A and B are shown apart, each in its own frame.
Chain A
């Protein structure tokens, strides 16, 4: 199976690989997937409390090229968005942007789950209600 140029680009030059301090209250961490399934994504957001904007986003992913590219793209999209705007990111946007084939759609779903899990973690840390099950898949 051939990868799209965009997947190859994110794989070769992944954006925002790294780790944020998960102990900080303005950092939300989402860890989704499972080693047995061949995909684990950890996605983190740091929210600037004054502006309410996501000032930084980092990821680390165990998975195939499409999973790495999906999470790399997600961190790019997250930066500069409000938390609510971030919640609106849909996995099909990722599929479209990266030209993911049908067998790789689960990679985009995982990225969306990771975004929601990170936001959820941030909300709970800051005394907000956790997202409902449906919103978090």
Chain B
């Protein structure tokens, strides 16, 4: 089969929707358009039935009960609802939250907001491999701690945190445990009971479902968890999230979860094989480094720094044909490279030189072959142009140079 360009390898940013998901959604726009909250007629009943079915599909994927699923507009809203909702609901118990520096901005910025509201937040540093230190976590707990918020899988480097150990610590101290599961749900087995998760946010568009829909899992038993609504209105979703339900989106999220449930195991094997092949081939390039723990990692993600070339410059060599993302800062107005990579203790130079590969359901072996070739030749070409590479080859100690910062 002829290779179709461009190739999409940015599946951690968003995934294409699976055509089977679209098919499931289509009747719910024009034909079955009812409001799931309309209790007095068949239009409403049809919509409600579809939502109930989707709720089952979603719950099943994560080992939850359907009643524990709160539909939201996406993971950002779910993250905000979990953090701010717990902070408000448990104010009488304490005001301290523990999170870590490599969380998604939706968590970090919600925590910043909570600090402004009088909360206290501890931001745990991560180790060089991106994992948190469990001893540090336990030491950070005080009698004011109400919540631990640690993500399941990281969006930039793909490392999977020791979720069961974290939840055991939380439980031991009577603290709730929330996890941002956006990158992990549908990619690796997540089981809220076995994993000891009290709240979890996730999103449709990271697992081949539609954008604009996500969910918050809120445990109902042992313990029964409640969050204060962050949006006032009709009291939908057991009063925790008002707003007319996005029926087609929810149907899509449900279908996406069902497909992940059925296909995850095989898909994860296929993706990790391809990812490893990509990674091993690119590691043949001199001075290439994988960022983050390679063992505890999402199957479809790798993050590699090619020393002495700048990420955005590198991407320009192939971004007509391959879509992926870089930890380089050159695209952002702040000129700051990825805070996640910096949190691993990477120097700015390595952070600027990083590429993130996010494989997905529709990635093929041919695409990986093309990518290996294109990235390798771009790195070599840019190194020919790089003064730092020349210095490195001449044995000059680049760190010893006094650079003029501006």
Residues of A within 8 A of B (CB): 1, 3, 8, 11, 14, 17, 19, 31-42, 60-68, 103, 106
Contact = CB atoms under 8 A, between A and B. Distances in A.
A1 B388 contact: no
Interface stretch (B75-83, B198-206, B346-354): B346-354
A40 B309 CA distance: 10
B30 interface: no
A35 B388 contact: yes
Q: Is the interface of A mostly helix, strand, loop or mixed?
A: mixed
B118 to A, nearest CB: 36
15 contacts: A3-B316, A34-B403, A35-B348, A35-B349, A35-B352, A36-B349, A37-B335, A38-B329, A38-B330, A38-B337, A38-B348, A40-B388, A40-B403, A62-B309, A64-B312
Contacts of B335: 37-38, 106
Interface stretch (B150-158, B238-246, B379-387): B379-387
B308 interface: yes
Contacts of A36: 347-349, 352, 403, 405
A67 B406 CA distance: 15
B333 interface: yes
B1 interface: no
Contacts of B312: 38, 64-65
B310 A38 contact: yes
Q: Which residue of A32, A33, A34 has the most chain B CB atoms within 10 A of its CB atom?
A: A34
Given A19-B390, A61-B385, A65-B316, A35 B329 contact: no
Contacts of A3: 316
Interface string B304-343: 0000111011001100000000001111010101000000
A41 B347 contact: no
B215 to A, nearest CB: 33
A41 B406 CA distance: 13
B400 interface: no
A60 B396 CA distance: 16
Contact of B387 (A8, A42, A66, A106): A42
B405 A1 contact: no
Given A40-B387, A62-B310, A34 B404 contact: yes
Contacts of A11: 313, 316-317
Contacts of B352: 35-36, 38
B194 interface: no
A40 B337 CA distance: 15
A59 B356 CA distance: 29
Interface in B262-312: 308-310, 312
B385 A64 contact: no
A68 B333 contact: no
A68 B398 CA distance: 20
Contacts of A38: 310, 312, 328-330, 335, 337, 348, 352
Contacts of B329: 38
A103 B387 contact: no
Given A66-B330, A103-B333, 20 more contacts: A3-B316, A11-B316, A14-B385, A17-B384, A19-B390, A32-B404, A34-B403, A34-B404, A35-B349, A36-B352, A36-B403, A38-B328, A38-B352, A40-B403, A60-B386, A63-B330, A64-B310, A67-B313, A67-B330, A68-B313
Nearest to B308: A62
Contacts of A42: 387
Given A31-B387, A61-B386, A62-B308, A37 B348 contact: yes
A67 B387 CA distance: 13
A14 B384 CA distance: 11
Contacts of A17: 384-385
Contacts of B308: 62
B393 to A, nearest CB: 11
